[in-house]
């Protein structure tokens, strides 16, 4: 009896761990008490894929496969082609981010997604996701918040490109990366920079040389410390002032 009880307990614990590790966990909102077994209904069907750095998840104008993708590990950049033939980067996405929301119910992709680092991606059919949202109103509310957050980020990015100086944009970008790292509990003081200087420039609407000058100005003052594809902000309060509009000469 004791062995049987232990096996049942271990099975429940394993189910809870799998559920907590699932990238869709934030949407699978049922009424089960905290710490109890997940509901006895199948999880959303997922397929897992691995991308190496530089490999596409999908390209602009690809046929939409009606799947949504969730980053489990790694970093992705979402981009569009600019009118001048260059690349316009919409967003840099990391673990936990959803990809494909911009092309729901469309025939072709409006954006491309390419891996910046080695990535693990979970994909789920949109039809199965809508079925979950129909069954669980709280999940539908959480998905609505996800969509609202995505729209808000894109609006904030557009506003930044219209109304801020080059050094403000770079400062805001660094602070945002650090806040993302802290929210993901990766490191309270250090954030990664898996993208190139040109990628940062394309995202911020600047040239790569301007981005380099802004970073150098922050480093000369000891406010920014950069390592191998990562950085810290020893002078975070000063960088926050720059992000808010305090003037900073780039060439002194």
* Residue 54 falls inside a structural domain: yes
As a whole number of angstroms, the distance between CA 68 and CA 14 comes to 26
* Residue 5 falls inside a structural domain: no
Looking at 110, 141, 172, the residue that finishes a domain is 141
Residue 96 has pLDDT above 70, yes or no: yes
Looking at 84, 106, 141, the residue that finishes a domain is 141
- What's the pLDDT at 37? 47
Strands (E), 74-186: 76-81, 87-93, 98-99, 112-115, 119-125
Kindly state whether residues 104 and 187 are assigned to the same domain.
Answer: no
* Residue 250 falls inside a structural domain: no
Task: Identify whether the C-beta of residue 26 lies closer than 8 Å to the C-beta of residue 74.
Answer: no
Domain count, the chain: 2
CATH number for the domain including 102?
2.60.120.10
Locus of tokens 């990562």? 230
Kindly state whether residues 171 and 122 are assigned to the same domain.
Answer: no
- What's the pLDDT at 44? 53
CATH number for the domain including 190?
1.10.10.10
First to last CA, the chain: 77
Q: Within a 10 A sphere around the Cβ of 146, how many other Cβ atoms?
A: 15
Residue 178 has pLDDT above 80, yes or no: yes
Kindly state whether residues 170 and 108 are assigned to the same domain.
Answer: no
The structure tokens listed for 232 are 């810290």
Domain around 193: 164-243
Contacts for 17-22: CB closer than 8 Å, 24+ residues apart: 19/43, 22/46
* Residue 152 falls inside a structural domain: no
Kindly state whether residues 133 and 194 are assigned to the same domain.
Answer: no
- What's the pLDDT at 141? 78
Task: Identify whether the C-beta of residue 203 lies closer than 8 Å to the C-beta of residue 211.
Answer: no
Per the model's pLDDT, the better-predicted residue between 123 and 115 turns out to be: 115
Kindly state whether residues 194 and 230 are assigned to the same domain.
Answer: yes
Task: Identify whether the C-beta of residue 168 lies closer than 8 Å to the C-beta of residue 245.
Answer: yes
pTM score of the predicted model? 0.78
- What's the pLDDT at 126? 80
* Residue 27 falls inside a structural domain: no
Task: Identify whether the C-beta of residue 71 lies closer than 8 Å to the C-beta of residue 118.
Answer: no
* Residue 36 falls inside a structural domain: no
The structure tokens listed for 24 are 């869709």
Q: Within a 10 A sphere around the Cβ of 153, how many other Cβ atoms?
A: 13
Looking at 107, 141, 175, the residue that finishes a domain is 141
As a whole number of angstroms, the distance between CA 14 and CA 30 comes to 18
* Residue 32 falls inside a structural domain: no
Query: Buried b / exposed e across 107-126, counting CB within 10 Å, b at 16+?
Result: eebebbbbbbbebebbbbbb
Kindly state whether residues 135 and 49 are assigned to the same domain.
Answer: yes
Over the chain, what is the mean pLDDT? 79
- What's the pLDDT at 218? 94
Q: What is the DSSP letter of 54?
A: T
At residue 225 the predicted structure's pLDDT band, cuts being 50, 70 and 90, is very high
As a whole number of angstroms, the distance between CA 114 and CA 79 comes to 8
Kindly state whether residues 136 and 177 are assigned to the same domain.
Answer: no
The structure tokens listed for 47 are 């397929």
Percent of the chain with pLDDT over 70: 79
Kindly state whether residues 220 and 137 are assigned to the same domain.
Answer: no
* Residue 6 falls inside a structural domain: no
Residue 189 has pLDDT above 80, yes or no: no
**Residue 217 host element (H or E):** helix 208-220
């Amino acid at each position: 009896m004791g062995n049987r009880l232990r096996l049942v307990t271990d099975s429940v614990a394993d189910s809870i761990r799998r559920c907590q590790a699932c990238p869709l966990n934030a949407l699978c909102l049922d009424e089960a008490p905290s710490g109890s077994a997940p509901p006895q209904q199948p999880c959303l069907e997922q397929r897992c894929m691995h991308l190496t750095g530089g490999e596409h998840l999908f390209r602009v104008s690809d046929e939409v496969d009606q799947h949504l993708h969730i980053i489990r590990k790694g970093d992705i950049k979402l981009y569009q082609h600019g009118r001048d033939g260059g690349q316009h980067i919409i967003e840099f996405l990391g673990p936990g981010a959803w990809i494909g929301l911009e092309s729901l119910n469309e025939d072709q992709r409006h954006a491309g997604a390419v891996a910046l680092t080695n990535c693990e991606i979970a994909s789920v059919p949109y039809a199965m996701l809508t079925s979950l949202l129909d069954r669980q109103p709280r999940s539908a509310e959480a998905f609505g918040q996800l969509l609202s957050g995505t729209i808000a980020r894109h609006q904030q990015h557009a506003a930044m490109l219209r109304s801020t100086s080059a050094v403000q944009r770079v400062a805001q970008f660094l602070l945002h990366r650090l806040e993302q790292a802290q929210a993901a509990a990766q490191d309270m003081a250090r954030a990664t920079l898996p993208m190139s200087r040109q990628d940062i420039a394309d995202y911020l609407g600047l040239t790569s040389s301007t981005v380099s000058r802004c970073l150098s100005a922050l480093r000369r003052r000891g406010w920014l410390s950069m390592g191998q594809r990562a950085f810290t902000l020893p002078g975070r309060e000063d960088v926050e002032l720059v992000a808010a509009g305090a003037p900073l000469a780039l060439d002194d």
